[in-house]
Amino acid sequence: MVVVGCVSLGFMFAISMKKRVDELRQIERIINHIEGEIRYNNALIKEALRGARTRCAEPFDEWLNYVADELEEDYNDSFSHIWDRSLDILQRKTHLKKSDIKELVLIGQALGYLDMKAIKMGLELQKENLHSVILNLDEVLANNMKVSVILGTLGGIFLVVILL
């Protein structure tokens, strides 16, 4: 029973790592959609967020809808404050780490520029940064998943030996 529990924990940790990478890929697609809405439709930020929202799954659609709603309702608050608040909510609903949220803060800063040219250039830079993070995680993902399962198994065996 102890071994099965420890192996299960190893599998859960491995699945969590995989979900993190999948969620980062989803964010990369969202940023591409937002950039497309801004670049080709000359959409405002809230319109671009709503357009991107229709193409993504939970919890990202709720996140984008929250930001767009807050932009419509709260005229006194800056975009960066609204974006940062939304990231706190997003972090609780996803497997993203603090380093991933820091990347998203930079994306929000790029979206917060007033000049469309600056927004496009900032988004391009942040997309490249996010893509490099995803590539780095992809390189180590398979090994880390194997290690977590092996450590879970060995930990379970070790506990059984200790308890005997």
pLDDT at residue 74 in the model: 67
* Alpha helices (H) along the chain: 2-41, 45-53, 60-73, 79-93, 98-111, 116-163
Q: Would the pLDDT of 117 be above 80?
A: no
Average pLDDT score, the chain = 81
- pTM of the complete model: 0.77
Q: Would the pLDDT of 94 be above 70?
A: yes
Residue 23 or residue 14, greater confidence: 23
The CA distance from 87 to 101, in Å, is 7
Residue 39 CB coordination number (10 Å): 15
pLDDT at residue 31 in the model: 87
> 24, 97 in Cβ contact below 8 A?
no
